[in-house]
Amino acid sequence: MPTALITGITGQDGLYLAELLLAKGYDVHGVIRGQNNPRRELVERLVPDVRLHNGDLTDLSSLMRALRESQPDEVYNLGAVSFVAYSWENAFVTSDVTAIGVLNLLEAVRLHCGDDPSSVRFYQASSSEMFGKVQETPQRESTLLWPRSPYGVSKVYGHYMTINYRESYGMHASSGILFNHESPRRGEEFVTRKVSKAVAAIKLGMQDELVMGNLDARRDWGFAGDYVDAMWRMLQQPEADDYVIATGETHTIEELVRVAFAHVGIDDWKRYVRQDPAFMRPAEVDELIGDASKAREVLGWEPTVRFEELVAMMVDADVAALKAGW
């Protein structure tokens, strides 16, 4: 039975990846931080077979202990300060976790592997935010990186450090350059979930308005369940490499809002939506659209959920949750 260790186990992707690997028969371990993490209960409820190890990406010795205790064949580094807007307000913390945290984990894996640096396969959660002020459309693996936030800059560091450990030490270290992916488990700070939850609450008469930032930005949104499958496929390849994972479709935030309201039968959505500069960013990533042909050809990966279906799934889940009083 193969063994996997996941950082970021309490996050959206950590939970989906744990479910996928457990279904494949893996022994799954997760790194959880903090002395009383409020999301521990969620992990224990949704994926009770995952074994948790206390650790933090900023603490090298805790990562080495988690590796020693779990003895993984595969390590998935999903842990990060992942909210772009927050990264301007907390640039040092973001850099410590999202940039240096990758180095800590790579170094821990390298030391753990001893004479056989490729004995543990490593996945790094790189991001389309690295393309930032895009230099080419659609974005592919070779597109020049131009990050636009402390988060994006940190991800670029982690991305190149992963490549560097592959090239310097022969580690089986791959990066997935994943475009935005969403689900009913998405954190409520991110735009899709903020919109789905507000639309559900407005429909049920529990909220009056939805306060938004920039409605003109465009994103390539897919379903998180599809994207964790791509991560696993990358680590099954004989050679480590980097892959763009995206749907190849792009939509504005305004379209997201419109489609979400339309799904609950509200067509005059403008009545409920107000813009507030508080939600605008110091520098915006205006338009992202990915070219995942390499993943399609090499990994045999395809997205299965389209934009409208994704929005409907999220709104329906929030309506059900609010009705149930969650």
For helices 101-113 and 150-169, what crossing angle results, to 10°?
Answer: 20
How far, in Å, CA of 148 to CA of 84, rounded? 10
Smallest CA-to-CA distance from 77 within 117, 121, 125 is with 125
The answer to whether 324 and 200 are in contact (CB under 8 A) is no
Nearest position to ligand NDP, beta carbon: 11
Among the listed residues 4, 5, 7, 157, the single contact to ligand NDP using CB under 6 A: 7
How far, in Å, CA of 181 to CA of 314, rounded? 12
151 is known as an active-site residue: yes
Query: Considering 70, 82, 95, 127, which one is annotated as catalytic?
Result: 127
Please give the residues from 185 up to 244 whose contact with ligand NDP meets the rule CB under 6 A.
187
Is the Cβ of residue 70 or residue 127 nearer to ligand NDP in the bound state?
127
Among the listed residues 66, 75, 78, 314, the single contact to ligand NDP using CB under 6 A: 78
The answer to whether 206 and 322 are in contact (CB under 8 A) is yes
56 binds, among ligand NDP, ligand GDR, none (CB under 5 to 8 A by kind): ligand NDP
Which residues contact ligand GDR by CB under 6 A? 82, 84-85, 127-129, 179-180, 189-191, 194, 212-214, 217, 219, 253, 279, 281, 284
11 binds, among ligand GDR, ligand NDP, none (CB under 5 to 8 A by kind): ligand NDP
Smallest CA-to-CA distance from 181 within 6, 17, 34 is with 17
Which position has the token pair 């996941």? 6
97 binds, among ligand NDP, ligand GDR, none (CB under 5 to 8 A by kind): ligand NDP
Residues 6+ apart with CB under 8 A from 211: 273, 274, 275, 276, 279
Virtual CA dihedral for 78, 80, 82, 88, nearest 10 degrees? -160
Is the Cβ of residue 72 or residue 152 nearer to ligand GDR in the bound state?
152
279 binds, among ligand NDP, ligand GDR, none (CB under 5 to 8 A by kind): ligand GDR
Is the Cβ of residue 186 or residue 263 nearer to ligand NDP in the bound state?
186
Among the listed residues 70, 127, 247, 250, the single contact to ligand NDP using CB under 6 A: 127
41 is known as an active-site residue: no
127 is known as an active-site residue: yes
Which position has the token pair 């990050």? 147
Instruction: Kindly state whether residue 95 participates in binding ligand NDP, applying the rule CB under 6 A.
Output: no
Q: At 9, phi and psi to the nearest 5?
A: -65, -25
305 binds, among ligand GDR, ligand NDP, none (CB under 5 to 8 A by kind): none
Smallest CA-to-CA distance from 5 within 35, 16, 21 is with 21
Smallest CA-to-CA distance from 151 within 107, 99, 197 is with 99
Q: Which residues contribute to the site for ligand NDP (CB under 6 A)?
A: 7-14, 31, 33-34, 37, 39, 56-58, 78-82, 97, 125, 127, 178, 180-181, 187
User: Which residue numbers are catalytic?
Assistant: 127, 129, 151
